[in-house]
Amino acid sequence: MAELAKLENRPSTQRGSTPLWAIVAIIVVLVLAVWGIYSRLHSRSELGKATNAESAPTVSITKIEAAAPTEELVLPANVQAFSDAPIYARTSGYLKRWLVDIGGPVSKGQLIAEIDAPEVDQQLSQAESDLKTAEANEALSRTTAERWQALLQTQSVSKQENDEKTGDLQAKQALTASARANVKRLKDMQNFERIVAPFDGTITARNTDIGQLIGNTSTGVELFHISDLRKLRVYVLVPQPNAPAMQKGLEADLRFAERSDYAYPAKIVRTADALDPVSRTLQVELEVDNSKGELFPGSYAEVHFKLPVPDGALRVPANALIFRGKGLMVGTLSSDNHVELKPVTVGRDFGTSLEITSGLSVGESVIVNPPDSLAQGVLVRVAPPSKSTDSSSSPTAKPGAGGDAKSGASDTKKPQ
């Protein structure tokens, strides 16, 4: 009874209530269950995102930058002497002597060799004798014609006889003129025994020696070669897209492989004003000073032109173009890495790069080497830039002919 009385005396709040530890256990179980469900859902979502990201194609991009105000056009060129002439013999004989060897400077009219031509000398002597005979016959015919003209006034001779004497005089005069012309021709041939320089220059070749048999131009060989090296002509073939910029007076730099540290100033003096229908190029002639004799005719050289760039013209790599049914397009990236295909208009072709005249703007990201499956709105991944790409896009690189990169000429010396 005492135990029953104790139970009856307990507080009423403890009767029929759930223990505290049981409540805590239930809460812990619920939290663990919710966390497990959340972690599984989160992992599934992250896995889906990772899968989608892995399935997105990886592309490389390049930024479009504003073009420099000028561009460098590099073209191969041939260098020739300002005046260049092969020297042949105009008379036959044997070389008597030569006075100037290769590398020797000569002046206009200077004697450089002599030919011994005894046959020409004998022919001249004979022609002079024939001339004297013709002159004597002409004098006798003139005297006779004058006498018969006086006799005709007194009607001592007939008019027919007078006309015969007058005609004989005219025939003798023609023979004299022919003989005189033959003498002059042979004197000229005799003068050709002396070979002289046609202009100031340098002997660049000597192909004869004393005692050698010399023939005329139809059968002989070149005896000497003379070149004027004080000034050189430079010939270059300019592609059709750059032809309008080739104007008289445009300056350029001439560079040689054997003197790569120097740039020789040259200037356009004339152009062909017509394109070659086969190569579609314009022949341009430049002149370069060679008063110091540092350059050689016949050399291969490179001509570096500085040409103005049209306003608004941009350049993209040639491998960024996409050929679709709607025409030429370029793939660009939006801020969220989605592809935007934009139609473009192509200008000049520089080989590894192309000029874009419309369709793009400065600062856009262009996809290079786009896959065939690239489509509008597709999510892509951007590949990290390589070191080679970074070095090739250095601001010190300048595009050359055919899209090649040529280093700037800021450190190139120019002869004073």
Q: Are 342 and 358 in contact (CB under 8 A)?
A: no
% of residues, the chain, pLDDT over 90: 34
Among the candidates 192, 208, 243, a domain finishes at: 192
Residue 293, domain CATH: 2.40.30.170
Instruction: Kindly state whether residues 263 and 164 are assigned to the same domain.
Output: no
Average pLDDT estimate for 191-205: 91
Q: What is the reported pLDDT for 176?
A: 93
- Asked if the model's pLDDT at residue 78 lies above 90, the reply is yes
Instruction: Kindly state whether residue 6 falls inside one of the protein's structural domains.
Output: no
Residue 20 within a domain: no
In this model, does residue 408 exceed pLDDT 50? Answer: no
Q: E strand or H helix at 399, and its extent?
A: strand 397-399
C-alpha distances out from residue 167 to 143, 172, 180, 274, Å: 13, 9, 20, 59
Amino acid present at 253: D
Distance CA 72, CA 62 (A): 22
CA angle 359, 405, 350 (to 5 degrees): 45
The predicted structure's pLDDT at residue 9: 52
Tell me: do 127 and 179 sit in the same domain: yes
Q: Which of 46-55, 256-265, 400-409 has the lowest mean pLDDT?
A: 400-409
Query: Are 100 and 160 part of one and the same domain?
Result: no
Say which residue, 270 or 50, is predicted with more confidence. 270
pLDDT tier, 412 (very low <50, low <70, confident <90, very high otherwise): low
Report the C-alpha gap between 90 and 199 in whole angstroms: 18
Same-domain pairing of 247 and 286: yes
Asked whether residue 386 is domain-assigned, the answer is yes
Whether 13 shows a pLDDT value over 70: the answer reads no
Residue 267 has pLDDT above 90, yes or no: yes
Least confident of 130-134, 269-273, 310-314: 310-314
Q: In the prediction, which pLDDT does 404 show? A: 40
Q: Quick one: 107 and 218 in the same domain?
A: yes
Task: Determine, yes or no, domain membership for 4.
Answer: no
Are 180 and 203 in the same domain? no
Q: Are residues 320 and 394 in the same domain?
A: yes
pLDDT classification of 192: cutoffs 50, 70, 90: confident
User: What is the dihedral sign for C-alpha 278, 279, 280, 281?
Assistant: negative
Q: Is 2 part of a structural domain of the chain?
A: no
Do 250 and 134 belong together in one domain?
no
Output the domain CATH number for residue 342: 2.40.420.20
Q: Do the Cβ atoms of 109 and 228 come closer than 8 Å? A: no
Choose between 231 and 241: higher pLDDT. 231
What token pair was written down for 12?
């009423």
Mean pLDDT of the region 327-346: 84
**Spatial CA neighbour of 295 closest among 82, 75, 85:** 82
Mean pLDDT of the chain: 81
- Domains in the chain, number: 4
d(Cα 216, Cα 381) in Å, to the nearest integer? 79
Residue 162: pLDDT over 90: no
Share of the chain above pLDDT 70, in %: 83
Higher-pLDDT residue of 280 and 346 is: 280
Can you list the positions of beta strands (E) in 6-146? 58-63, 70-87, 93-98, 105-106, 111-116
Which three-class secondary structure state does DSSP give residue 50? helix
Check which CATH number belongs to the domain holding 137 and give it: 1.10.287.470
Whether pLDDT at 133 is above 80:
yes
Residues 123 and 173 in one domain: yes
HSE of 53 in the Cβ direction (CA atoms, 13 Å)? Answer: 9
Verify that 403 and 321 share a domain, yes or no. Answer: yes
Same domain, 207 and 158: no
Measured at the CA of 291, the angle between CA 286 and CA 296, to 5 degrees, comes to 65
Give the C-alpha separation, 44 to 49, whole Å.
9
Q: Is residue 416 part of a domain?
A: no
What confidence tier does 393 reach under pLDDT thresholds 50, 70, 90? very low
CA distance 381 to 25: 48
Lowest mean pLDDT among 12-21, 224-233, 295-304: 12-21
Shared-domain flag, residues 398 and 335: yes
pTM to 2 decimals? 0.60
* pLDDT of 256 strictly over 80: yes
Instruction: Show which of 308, 333, 360 is a domain's final residue.
Output: 308
> Which domain does 182 fall in, by range?
118-192
